Amino acid sequence: MDALERRPEQNPPRDHVEGHEHLTPDGEQSLFAQFAQAKSLEAYCQHWLTLQCQMIGTVSAGVVLLGPPNRGPYSPVAFWPTGQRAVQHLTEVVEQALAERRGLAIKREPASAAAGAPRHRYEIAYPIDVGGTIHGVVAMDLVARPDRELQALLRRLQWGFAWLEVLFRKEEAAREGAARKRLQQVLDLAATGVGQDRFYGAATAFVTALATRLSCDRVSLGFLRGNHTRVRAVSHSAQFGKQSNLVRAIGAAMDEALDQQAVIVFPAPPDATPHVTRAHAELARQHGSGALCSIPLMAGDRTVGALTLERSADQPFDAATVELCEGIAALAGPPLEVQRREDRWLAAKAGESCQLWLGRLIGPRHMILKLVVVVLLALATAGAVVKDDFRLSATAVLEPEIRQAAVAPFNGYVAEARARAGDVVKKGQLLCSLDDRDMRLERLRALSQQEQLTKQYHLAMTKHDAAQTKILAAQIEQAKAQLTLLEEQLSRTRILAPFDGVIVQGDLSQALGSPVERGQVLFEVAPLEAYRLILHVDERDIAYAAVGQRGQLLLNAAPDSPQPFAVSKITPISTAREGKNYFRVEATLEETPESLRPGMEGVGKIEVGRELFVWIWMRQVIDWVRLTLWHWLP
């Protein structure tokens, strides 16, 4: 409490103050009248302290200290007795009460003995706590009294604190009301341009509303273009000459505020920070503006423009108006800047973007961007100079060169199945067999018929019946042919593998006993050593393919073992797959590993030649552009 003056040693605290122990009704009424008519905070606190000390009585000294809420420092604004400022001895109790944020009463021994028995005294201090906020402290020096009477006096002092609480709550309500009023003004003015579709209309509506609300002769809005501010809107003016002297003077004033990154008020208040105001003074001299205020507009951390307000000389810009204008500029600046940027031509947006990225690329910082650009440039240069192998990629499938079918020789039933699709078989190996019981019975019938005819033939021979002999001989030959046919069919009931290979189709293991018809394909067998590779080449790439070109195949089943091949045939017929057209290109494998099987799929690459790296990657885009231009150009 540096503001408390040191009490002189020759004037110790008094035990009582004559004339104040008893307050007459007239005196009390007079004090209350003065208290009610107080016009300032200091007068209010002085009359309140006087009332409290005279109503309590035996107060030798008192002080009210106020300061910034919860922060301090707190300085004296009222003393008791009036005019006496020697209250340095209350510093200790004041500091302790503020530190503990509660009322304290400290008992003190008298400094010296006066006439009669010496009496003790109390130093009391109460923080002025309003809603948890400490606005100050009240301290008093009381002559000691009996405990009951002292407690009553302290309660009376606490009740008196309600007057101070009312004062601070009224001031807080007034500040909040003023803040709400200013905020409402800021929101209303910032919202004036929201309903406009274009930037020029929004800016004109904003500055016109601002000039009307703040009683300004003219309000101008400008935005940075390069290193200078360009005036974009003037209040109450739908059109204005962009090269007129007034507009140039306003732009110079805005530049002056932006160069100093500060709010410029002209004429400057006596306690204001000094700034260069040459352009503002020139604007006031040439165009009769008595008072000027220029406020920079910010969008994030960037300065985007300025707002200049002009008034007559008898209406200078006070601190409250400047604060209000700053709030309006802070709230309205970003949306106006966004609307201005969105309302430009596409070429202007593209040019600004290029300029921004070029500045980042050439200027300081942005090291990652520079590294990425260097890498991209290096890749582009390498692609335009370096050549690489140009290869056509295509899906591929293995097919056997031949596929021999094993068919049913006659109508019958499946009796046995020893192989199925995927099995590797040897030449002559049994694949399946058909039921031959009916044929064997038919063969026995044919044998018995042949023997019977033979007996009849011999009997006719003994009777020398030539005609009957010839007839029976023919019938015997017919029976032999029938028997031969049955024996041939019996030999075909066993379906054998025609050569070494693999069964690519057929599975009768789940069809035992089922009927088969003559000519029905039961199995298909393909050799293991002879394959052909079928490549499905996109029609956009078929022009680069030619017979004799070499390439490599990677199968899905063996992605680590490339197989070389050579193109042997290009079919002139395309097939549609997955929304695209493909040509069938046949190739021959140079090697046939034992692990190969028909139907395996993979990716084949046909080696065409060496081309520029960039052409290899961009050829399809180039072809697409050519076709598109050819389609649209007349």
- Any domain includes 362: no
**What pLDDT score was predicted for residue 6?**
35
- Whether 257 maps to a domain, the answer reads yes
Query: Is 457 in the same domain as 488?
Result: yes
Question: What is the arrangement of strands in the sheet containing 424-425, beginning at the earlier edge strand?
Answer: 404-407, 521-526, 501-505, 424-425
Q: How far apart are CA 289 and CA 312, in angstroms?
A: 6
User: Beta strand pairing status for 531-538 and 387-400?
Assistant: antiparallel
What's the CA gap between 583 and 576, in Å, rounded? Answer: 9
Domain boundary at 524, 549, 579, which?
524
510 and 548 belong to one structural domain: no
User: CA torsion sign, 151 to 156 to 162 to 168?
Assistant: negative
Among 316, 325, 327, 318, which Cα is nearest to 213's? 325
| Residue at 552 is within a domain | yes
The pLDDT, as a whole number, for residue 252 is 93
**Domain CATH for 100:** 3.30.450.40
Please tell me whether residues 48 and 142 are part of one structural domain. yes
Question: At 64, which helix (H) or strand (E)?
Answer: strand 59-66
Q: Does 20 fall in a domain? A: no
Q: How many domains does the chain have?
A: 4
Residues of the chain falling short of pLDDT 70: 1-32, 34, 36-38, 83-86, 110-119, 179, 182-183, 185-186, 193-195, 238, 240-243
Last residue of a domain, one of 124, 143, 176: 176
Tell me: do 255 and 335 sit in the same domain.
yes
Residue 146 is assigned to a structural domain of this protein:
yes
Cα(581)–Cα(175) distance, integer angstroms:
79
Place of tokens 């200049």: 308
Task: Give me the CATH number covering residue 593.
Answer: 2.40.30.170
Q: Are residues 206 and 75 in the same domain?
A: no
Q: Where does 463-500 have alpha helices with state H? A: 466-491
My answer on whether 273 and 290 are in the same domain is: yes
Same domain, 145 and 270: no
Task: Read off the DSSP letter of residue 277.
Answer: -
- The boundaries of the domain holding residue 141 are 25-176
Q: Which amino acid is at 600?
A: M
Q: Mark whether 169 and 233 lie in a shared domain.
A: no
Residue 480 near residue 450 (C-beta atoms within 8 A): yes
Helix, strand, or coil (residue 585): strand
State whether 236 and 212 are in the same domain.
Answer: yes
Residue 406 near residue 419, CB atoms below 8 Å: no
Q: How far apart are CA 610 and CA 607, in angstroms?
A: 9
pLDDT (0 to 100) of residue 599: 84
47 and 163 belong to one structural domain: yes
Mark whether 144 and 214 lie in a shared domain.
no
Question: What pLDDT does residue 195 have?
Answer: 67
Per the domain annotation, does 278 fall within a domain?
yes
Does residue 559 lie within any of the structural domains?
A: yes
Q: Which parts of 527-625 are beta strand (E)? A: 531-538, 550-555, 558-577, 580-589, 601-612
What is the DSSP code (8-state) at residue 507?
B
**pLDDT for residue 8:** 35
Q: Residue 361: inside a domain, yes or no? A: no
Residue 309, pLDDT score: 93
Residue 452, domain CATH? 2.40.50.100
Residues 520 and 579 in one domain: no
Picking from 272, 269, 321, the residue whose alpha carbon sits closest to that of residue 295 is 321
